[in-house]
């Protein structure tokens, strides 16, 4: 029998892994009065302990690698990693730069990826709502 793993209340923790801040502007916009994802049951949380979803951005720089991994390890299971933006997908403008990694979403094995440079708040919200939340 299918069971709802996540119930109408999802904590989202964000980790920037060398992004340009463009994706962060759009992630922050999700909380403004125009998008207000709290109405859809999403809450941007301060602690990874409170998170169900981890959004990641950026190409993954060497400096962020350990911190991103530790943050992810602090998130209880089940959890979902969502890659936001072309950099996290490994196909952004800095792909191949000397201190750019494979993409935060590639390295942290994101379940879904929202493409765009940056993706719009509508696109991010639609992706969050499309997540497979049942196990």
* 58 sits near other proteins (criterion: CB under 8 A): yes
User: Shortest approach of other proteins to residue 5 CB, angstroms?
Assistant: 24
62 touching other proteins, by CB under 8 A: yes
Q: Cα separation of 25 and 52, whole Å? A: 21
- Give strand pairing partners of 4: 134
Q: Output the smallest distance, CB 79 to other proteins, in A.
A: 16
- Tell me how far, at minimum, the Cβ of 119 lies from other proteins, in Å: 10
CB 61 within 8 A of CB 17: yes
- C-alpha distance from residue 61 to each of 5, 17, 76, 125 (Å): 32, 6, 24, 26
Of 62, 42, 67, give the one whose Cα is nearest residue 102. Answer: 62
**Contact with other proteins (CB under 8 A): which of 44, 112, 123, 131?**
44
Q: List contacts with other proteins (CB under 8 A).
A: 14-29, 31-34, 44, 46-47, 58-59, 61-68, 71, 92-94, 96-100, 117-118, 120
């Amino acid at each position: 029998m299918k069971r709802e793993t996540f119930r109408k209340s999802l904590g989202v923790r964000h980790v920037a892994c060398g992004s340009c801040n463009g994706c962060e502007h759009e992630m922050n916009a999700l909380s403004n009065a125009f998008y207000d994802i709290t109405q859809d049951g999403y809450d941007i949380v301060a602690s990874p302990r409170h998170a169900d979803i981890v959004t990641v951005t950026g190409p993954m720089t060497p400096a962020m690698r350990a911190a991103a991994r530790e943050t992810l390890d602090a998130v209880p299971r089940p959890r979902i990693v969502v890659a936001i933006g072309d950099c996290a997908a490994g196909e952004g403008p800095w792909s191949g730069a000397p201190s750019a990694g494979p993409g935060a979403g590639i390295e942290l094995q994101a379940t879904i990826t929202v493409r765009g440079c940056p993706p719009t708040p509508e696109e991010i919200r639609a992706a969050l709502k499309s997540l497979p939340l049942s196990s």
